[in-house]
Structure 1
């Protein structure tokens, strides 16, 4: 698709002037006659005309020859798209969209969303609550039993009740802290490392 020029009025005036002169060669006159009425000419023709003019003693540059002319580029017509290609592209787009959707929703459990309050969920929650209640009860029994043992055992060391209570509280506190430490480590193991 070659570029061409839309010719201006100055170009046509120069062509008429050259046609009226008798010194031009027949080849140049023939070329001028062919483009005299044209509104657009290809770039190759303009270049050939400029060479002929220079050969015949007219020192004209190409930019002077096409001074008020405009570059004309024909409108590009795109070929119609192949329907098979369009169908394949649509399939690929749909496949990629589906893969993206699956990647985004791979951590979502549809049963968990749709079944609020099923019997299996209730059983799991009861077991979880039961385990917490047993753990708290075990903690309290351990601390109270430690206090009682320390209070009863300290009667052989201390004669005053205040000293016996203080020693029992200290022993219960140490055992309670140890029990909390073990409880936290166990829960950390169940939940995974932070």
Structure 2
């Protein structure tokens, strides 16, 4: 936080011999403090202007208060013409080597995690394109289950037809009636099997 001024030539001349502040009858203590402050040169950052004097805000405030009490026609803003607020350079403390090493380690770890997250989808796509043994096994099992289901459907319908045809000989004497009864029973059994198959397929699709 700024607390001093770089005194301009106007303030230095006003406090010097024959200056404007001589007739203001400054208190001895205030004059001694101002002369001591203006007597110390400070090498500022602007090398073109050369060393300049630093005056604290407290001394400037005391000077302003004295001028107001005397109802002086010499105003403070006139005395401070050419002066500048001094902002000291902030010296950064050296960083802890252990903290720097830890931060670098955390950065590397975060970079690796980000790389894995980005390349994770690419790896999955490549595996899906090339195919794996597990995917092949799943496909073989699906085809096998479908073949078994179709075979069971055909065997069930055929068995229902044969059983009805043979059992209807005790009811119907004509072959046409026996065949019609067998077809009706086989159709009912086939529709029931189809219903069960559709429900099972819907369950499998729902799990996917």
Q: What interval of TM-score do these two structures reach, taking the shorter chain for normalisation?
A: 0.5 to 0.7
In structure 2, C-alpha distance between the alignment counterparts of 1:143 and 1:131, rounded to whole Å: 18
Please tell me whether the aligned partners of residues 6 and 70 of structure 1 are also in contact (alpha carbons under 8 angstroms): yes
2:97 counterpart residue number: 83
1:4 counterpart residue number: 4
Structure 1 residue corresponding to 2:30, chosen from 23, 28, 31:
28
In structure 2, C-alpha distance between the alignment counterparts of 1:87 and 1:97, rounded to whole Å: 15
With structure 2 as the length reference, what TM-score do the two structures score? Answer: 0.57
Please tell me whether the aligned partners of residues 54 and 60 of structure 1 are also in contact (alpha carbons under 8 angstroms): no
In structure 2, C-alpha distance between the alignment counterparts of 1:14 and 1:179, rounded to whole Å: 114
Structure 1 residue corresponding to 2:154, chosen from 116, 127, 140:
140
- Give the 3-state SS of the residue equivalent to 2:95 in structure 1: coil
Shift of 1:159: 6.2
In structure 2, C-alpha distance between the alignment counterparts of 1:22 and 1:145, rounded to whole Å: 130
CA-based RMSD of the aligned residues comes to 4.9
Shift of 1:60: 7.9
With structure 1 as the length reference, what TM-score do the two structures score? Answer: 0.60
In structure 2, C-alpha distance between the alignment counterparts of 1:103 and 1:40, rounded to whole Å: 58
Aligned length: 190
Shift of 1:66: 5.1
1:18 counterpart residue number: 21
In structure 1, C-alpha distance between the alignment counterparts of 2:164 and 2:135, rounded to whole Å: 44
